[in-house]
Chains A and B, each alone.
Chain A
Amino acid sequence: MSAQICIVDYGVGNRRSVEKAIHKVGGKPVISSEPDVMAAADGLVLPGVGAFPSAMERIEALGLDDAIASAVRRGAPILGTCLGMQLLFDRSTEHGGARGLGLIKGEVVALDAPGAKLPHIGWSEVEWSGNSELTSGLGESASFYHVHSYVTVPADPAAVIGWSDYGTRFASVVEQSNIYGVQFHPEKSSANGLRMLANFCAICDEAAR
């Protein structure tokens, strides 16, 4: 496995952890905000922590929205993690609301978890629905490290391939052709997370052939 994975750099904090995890599973990570590098990569990871509107502002200011859209059009797999997953959707209500990349239909809303503490920080079990290469080898469910206060609501329920539960059930893994999103942090989810990233690298390898 030697897929070249571009970790899209728009100035958020956890790029380095994602880079190390992809390196660990045998992928070739490169952190970049250059559209040329993104165009040459076998796959993209869109990481993210922090607030949706400011992340979108930075992405647009750097012209990365167009670069991401063109990578998706040529069939390169893309994996959004945490805020990166949320950015794939049409819009978010966070901090007064903002438009997203619009690659998956649906919106991002505040996590409504009656009686539970927020943010949702910690390990939660994710239940798979349907078969996906992304979740291959991870049983019927597996635990992953979550950190978030907002969740995605995909317009098409068929796009959801994993569900988490935190006072309420929410979509935590989505797949729509070559577009993948996970609400948790695979790079911080020990063996399960590394397995998922290895699966993603394999998907990128296949797509590149």
Chain B
Amino acid sequence: MQMKRVIPCLDVDAGRVVKGTNFVDIRDAGDPVELAARYELAGADELVFLDITATHEDRGTVAALARRTADDVFIPFTIGGGIRSLEDAQAVLDAGADKVSVNSAALARPELIRELAAQFGSQCVVVAIDARRNTAGAAGWEAFSGGGRHATGRDVLQWATEVEKLGAGELLLTSMDRDGTKDGYDLELLAAVSSGTRIPLIASGGAGEPRHLAEALEAGADAVLCASIFHFGAYTVGDVKQYLTDRGILVRPLSA
């Protein structure tokens, strides 16, 4: 049986974590590598680093981050934010990242997904989709680019199907409506995308308590991305996994 995954997300700006858990007695809460190692010990199944600087000058900083993380962290990690080309992806994968996540660059030029998959294998390619529920009576969701700033006119379900065909290995689906609300994931969105695609689905946006994670996994997500639920110290990875286990959801046990 497949275990569902719990994936903490760390926002990184110019090589420093700007949103991450302040673990007790941590030396440097802004050091991505120290935080990542703590999360591994705490039982995280994978990690995502989201580079929010994502400028051209920042590319070297991100590769250095991947390199240092790979030195000390022995769970898979993904780098997202600012990956626009095969060269960008090559730099962080060579440094030791396991996957790259692309969003705006793929919306601007969908062929990028096919090229990344051909070069590195589908398992390296996560396509992130920022989805906003249509208003004014229209059903469905629209994909946004530029960190949620630009409407693309693309229907999320169609886009998800297309990126799967282009060779994406996983989908990272964020509900813009729920992001930051702590009201729970957009379960309708997750169920719709999960039933329309065959690649693993990572849910993102809206988690405020362990119950929300369980609901997302039950709605069809294969993994849950968590930011504020851990960052503000309300719950540990252990708390969350205990809750999921008690609810009958299979997750990787904390020890052994």
Q: Which residues of A are in contact with B by a Cβ distance under 8 Å?
A: 13-14, 16-17, 20-21, 24, 49-51, 116-125, 138-139, 142-143, 145, 147-149, 165-166, 185, 187-194
Complex contact B3–A119 (CB within 8 A): no
A16 and B169 CA atoms in complex are apart in Å by: 22
- Chain A residues near B93: list those with CB within 8 A: 13
Complex contact B256–A142 (CB within 8 A): yes
Q: What residue of chain B has the Cβ atom nearest to residue A51's Cβ?
A: B121
Can you pick out 24 interface pairs between chain A and chain B where the beta carbons lie within 8 Å of each other? A13-B121, A17-B98, A20-B70, A20-B96, A49-B120, A49-B121, A50-B121, A116-B2, A117-B201, A117-B222, A118-B199, A119-B169, A120-B2, A121-B123, A122-B3, A124-B3, A125-B1, A125-B3, A143-B252, A147-B123, A165-B1, A188-B76, A188-B98, A190-B75
Please judge, given known A-B contacts A50-B120, A50-B121, A143-B253, whether A122 and B96 are in contact too, CB under 8 Å. no
Complex contact B96–A49 (CB within 8 A): no
From the candidates A24, A119, A124, A138, name the one contacting B74 in the complex (CB within 8 A). A24
A166 and B5 CA atoms in complex are apart in Å by: 15
Tell me what chain A mostly uses at the interface: helix, strand, loop, or mixed: mixed
From the candidates A16, A17, A143, A148, name the one contacting B3 in the complex (CB within 8 A). A143
Q: B121 → chain A, closest Cβ, in Å?
A: 4
Complex contact B70–A117 (CB within 8 A): no
From the candidates B74, B198, B252, B253, name the one contacting A187 in the complex (CB within 8 A). B74
Complex contact B123–A21 (CB within 8 A): no
Complex contact A122–B45 (CB within 8 A): yes
Q: A116 → chain B, closest Cβ, in Å?
A: 7
From the candidates A50, A124, A193, name the one contacting B1 in the complex (CB within 8 A). A124
B residues 16-44 touching A (CB-CB < 8 Å) = 40
- Chain B residues near A121: list those with CB within 8 A: 123, 169-170, 200, 222
Please judge, given known A-B contacts A13-B94, A16-B94, whether A145 and B2 are in contact too, CB under 8 Å. no
Complex contact A13–B76 (CB within 8 A): no
B residues 212-227 touching A (CB-CB < 8 Å) = 222-223
Q: A66 → chain B, closest Cβ, in Å?
A: 26
A116 and B256 CA atoms in complex are apart in Å by: 26
Q: Which 9 pairs show the lowest CB-CB distances between chains A and B?
A: A50-B121, A123-B252, A123-B3, A16-B96, A147-B123, A188-B76, A143-B252, A13-B93, A117-B200
Complex contact A16–B123 (CB within 8 A): no
From the candidates A16, A116, A185, name the one contacting B70 in the complex (CB within 8 A). A16
B124 at the interface (CB under 8 A from A): yes
B71 at the interface (CB under 8 A from A): yes
- Chain B residues near A145: list those with CB within 8 A: 45, 75-76
Complex contact B222–A20 (CB within 8 A): no
A194 and B120 CA atoms in complex are apart in Å by: 25
Q: A111 → chain B, closest Cβ, in Å?
A: 12
Q: B138 → chain A, closest Cβ, in Å?
A: 29
A121 and B4 CA atoms in complex are apart in Å by: 10
- Chain A residues near B101: list those with CB within 8 A: none
Q: What residue of chain B has the Cβ atom nearest to residue A23's Cβ?
A: B71
B122 at the interface (CB under 8 A from A): yes
B95 at the interface (CB under 8 A from A): yes
A122 and B252 CA atoms in complex are apart in Å by: 10
Q: What residue of chain A has the Cβ atom nearest to residue B77's Cβ?
A: A188
Complex contact B70–A17 (CB within 8 A): yes
Complex contact A14–B98 (CB within 8 A): yes
Q: A54 → chain B, closest Cβ, in Å?
A: 10
A178 and B198 CA atoms in complex are apart in Å by: 38
- Chain B residues near A187: list those with CB within 8 A: 74
Known A-B contacts: A123-B3, A187-B74. Give 16 more (CB < 8 A). A13-B93, A13-B94, A13-B121, A14-B96, A16-B67, A17-B98, A20-B72, A21-B74, A49-B120, A49-B121, A117-B199, A122-B222, A123-B252, A147-B76, A188-B76, A191-B256
A116 and B2 CA atoms in complex are apart in Å by: 9
B residues 109-163 touching A (CB-CB < 8 Å) = 120-124
A17 and B121 CA atoms in complex are apart in Å by: 17
The winner among B3, B71, B170, B252 for most chain A CB atoms within 10 A is: B252
A194 and B1 CA atoms in complex are apart in Å by: 23
Please judge, given known A-B contacts A118-B199, A188-B76, whether A49 and B124 are in contact too, CB under 8 Å. yes
Q: A49 → chain B, closest Cβ, in Å?
A: 5
Complex contact A13–B74 (CB within 8 A): no
